Structure 1
């Protein structure tokens, strides 16, 4: 009986850990530009506001691929879609590293977004296949450690590579990693060997008619902006407003993600303990307040908020994905995730960061962060009206 129990745990944990590792590679590829933005800005002579267009290119590619991923997974299966995501990322990273002009770099970043967007719907569907529903909160919390580890590792990897290479070397190295992991998962990956749900107008109507879907979509969009958008701007904020060296800014950027990573374990437990709705209310309110606080005060205060703000932002995502899984009809989990993160991703990782960069360039980073946090707080009452039903 104990042996069967251990085999059952391995049957759940091994695929979950594999998908978490792939998600880390996926997310790392999409955010690596952030700790590289200072040398890239210098290489292409970009203003702060124009750097926002580079991040927008990745966001558009990501959102397009995420929405269309159901058409791919229904033909290739979720397993092969994950493999395709890795191979596309590898080719796109290599192309970005070879770019000699801004337009070439934007094309490469757009394709990085395409590769990244192919993963999420299939990854989420694969998790819900292998993990019992009562453990979804903890499973998605583990899966969501991948972005936090990527946020932490990216600046350290960049500074390590700069010891022997340039910003282009970072893209080349990770292109190779994507190809190697893609080959490994193609031959050894077991989760997700079933077809996805073909997106159709009827299925989309079923999902978008639910008010909870739109509340969660707004929450995802703002949380993505607070996670990725703020992260993208932080190196420039620390270098331009506080005159820190690039190395010091990247070190702070990395260390500031440690608490968020630790708290993700507690976030999964808290989501299962309090319930999805109560957890979302707690995380949304705290994320809004801490994002406003990040933009004001002396360097010591800002450094403290660098550590506090990511804690509440990253905790939103396990609860958010768990909520999406409960409001989606059977067999439409991947479609609900794709729709929600597509719409939220366009705003959260593209349009909002672009607006934030323009505001920061015009009147200052403090106002950019305050506007984002204030909008999140204005949306908090809608989460009190959220209706989700957790299955047991």
Structure 2
């Protein structure tokens, strides 16, 4: 192939066409060679996908350990759920600070350090003898580590590395959370059932360390670091960059929050996303397995169903990302929340010792809708807040985790007091209707309107 290019380059000279044509052919050769290279954005996206798969699996692991920990230590479900709530809160509130820290130190350092922290938190649980140690390990350490790899990481990667297919890539990376559940939940449930919860915790610790070299090898902080531009960017367009904050990471995150909080759109997005967290991670993600077990279903079967939610979520979130590039994100959010609320109102009537067709229908539908809300929410944050969009989304995501934490603790307390999760499902269904209304109240952005 190389020889043929040499012939093509000099053929015009032989034919008397002149040096200019030879130069043009050489330029074509250079363009073709460059076009055949894999753009660096894709290895970065791949490494981000792997890290996000791990983060989701590590964070969701406690949902299948509630009953084993209750049986061994005698801790109430409310106490164990409190550790999950701390995990969820930190997973959200670390997120905007992690986004600002990525501006200062870079994505690669922050994510690699977060994986080491997750490994330490999960591994240390095998030595715990008191409930406060559960709060420290699964709550604080794992919550902080996974929070640094939360969905603000998605917003940062897509904002820096992609112009073309930004919504689609956002959907694919968001789907990594579903893939994490799909991979880890059945494995952890099997290990906890057959060998005890300690091997399950050590598996999470080892898996976190395995991902570190992938991140260090493939992740680059900005396209300029490797002499390129964002995928799909116009070569003549100015490069969007954010300088490292001179006032410090925390100050940068808090300043963005102060400015965003002065706009109604921030509160509408944050309120809707809080309900999103309550109805997914907080309720279904934490309590679906023990709720199904209350009706006679085995832990392994219930964990398998929850993993299937993750499987269908991959398809649903990627489709949502594709739609976000084409449809008004506000309309997408309104539809997603409305359908989710309706399904939650039906769920209490579907539990049974065996998996019947109506439960299969719920799993498929809920999976498609699980975090389909993320791509349109990320898009709205970027549309309305520009280069500060990833950090603003970090604060919106923090509200997501506040809702999740309240639901995780509240549902556990409801089960302890009433002996059933039914009330929790009904309340969540009603809240989803409210989230749909809040999403539709966001005013459409007009041409020429400055971003908040």
**Normalised by the size of structure 2, how large is the TM-score?**
0.79
Out of 305, 320, 331, the position equivalent to 1:267 is: 320
Out of 38, 59, 67, the position equivalent to 2:67 is: 38
Decide whether the 8 Å contact of 2:343 with 2:362 is kept in 1.
Answer: yes
Out of 136, 139, 147, the position equivalent to 2:169 is: 139
2:13 matched residue in structure 1: none
1:114 matched residue in structure 2: 144
Residue 152 in 1 paired to residue 182 in 2? Answer: yes
Q: 1:122 offset after TM fit, Å?
A: 4.2
Residue 24 in 1 paired to residue 23 in 2? Answer: no
Out of 332, 343, 347, the position equivalent to 2:399 is: 343
Pair 202,61 (structure 1): closer, same or farther in 2 beyond 3 Å: closer
Matched position secondary structure for 2:72: helix
**1-side partners of 2:46 and 2:104: how far apart?**
25
Could you tell me which runs of 5 or more consecutive residues in structure 2 were left unpaired when the two chains were aligned: 1-30, 226-241, 448-452
1:10 matched residue in structure 2: 39
Decide whether the 8 Å contact of 2:48 with 2:215 is kept in 1.
Answer: no
1:374 matched residue in structure 2: 430
More helix by share: 1
Pair 11,70 (structure 1): closer, same or farther in 2 beyond 3 Å: closer
1:35-82 superposed Cα distances (whole Å, 9 cap, x missing partner): 222212212223333332121121233234224325533442232111
**Greater shift in the superposed pair: 285-294 or 360-369:** 360-369
Pair 202,103 (structure 1): closer, same or farther in 2 beyond 3 Å: closer
Larger Rg belongs to: 2
Q: 1:138 offset after TM fit, Å?
A: 0.4
Residue 357 in 1 paired to residue 387 in 2? Answer: no
Could you tell me which runs of 5 or more consecutive residues in structure 1 were left unpaired when the two chains were aligned: none
Pair 390,20 (structure 1): closer, same or farther in 2 beyond 3 Å: farther
**2-side partners of 1:100 and 1:145: how far apart?**
36
Matched position secondary structure for 1:119: coil
1:315 matched residue in structure 2: 372
Pair 379,169 (structure 1): closer, same or farther in 2 beyond 3 Å: same
Alignment of 1:286-305 (within 5 A): 286-297=339-350, 299=352, 300=356, 301-305=358-362
Pair 210,2 (structure 1): closer, same or farther in 2 beyond 3 Å: farther
Matched position secondary structure for 2:65: helix
Q: 1:257 offset after TM fit, Å?
A: 3.0
Alignment of 1:43-62 (within 5 A): 43-62=72-91
Out of 259, 270, 279, the position equivalent to 1:226 is: 279
**Greater shift in the superposed pair: 206-215 or 296-305:** 296-305
Alignment of 1:177-326 (within 5 A): 177-192=207-222, 197=245, 198=249, 199-200=251-252, 201-229=254-282, 230-240=284-294, 242-297=295-350, 299=352, 300=356, 301-326=358-383
Pair 178,196 (structure 1): closer, same or farther in 2 beyond 3 Å: farther
Pair 290,142 (structure 1): closer, same or farther in 2 beyond 3 Å: same
Q: State the superposition RMSD in angstroms.
A: 2.4
Matched position secondary structure for 1:337: helix
Matched position secondary structure for 2:128: coil
Q: 1:34 offset after TM fit, Å?
A: 1.0
**Greater shift in the superposed pair: 379-388 or 136-145:** 379-388
Pair 263,343 (structure 1): closer, same or farther in 2 beyond 3 Å: closer
Q: 1:24 offset after TM fit, Å?
A: 0.9
Matched position secondary structure for 1:274: coil
Decide whether the 8 Å contact of 1:152 with 1:257 is kept in 2.
Answer: yes
Residue 327 in 1 paired to residue 402 in 2? Answer: no
Pair 54,184 (structure 1): closer, same or farther in 2 beyond 3 Å: same
**2-side partners of 1:169 and 1:33: how far apart?**
13
**Greater shift in the superposed pair: 9-18 or 156-165:** 156-165
**2-side partners of 1:180 and 1:195: how far apart?**
31
Decide whether the 8 Å contact of 1:156 with 1:251 is kept in 2.
Answer: yes
Q: 1:29 offset after TM fit, Å?
A: 0.8
**2-side partners of 1:310 and 1:116: how far apart?**
22
Pair 141,238 (structure 1): closer, same or farther in 2 beyond 3 Å: same
**1-side partners of 2:290 and 2:91: how far apart?**
23
Decide whether the 8 Å contact of 1:78 with 1:196 is kept in 2.
Answer: no
Decide whether the 8 Å contact of 1:79 with 1:122 is kept in 2.
Answer: no
Decide whether the 8 Å contact of 1:294 with 1:306 is kept in 2.
Answer: no
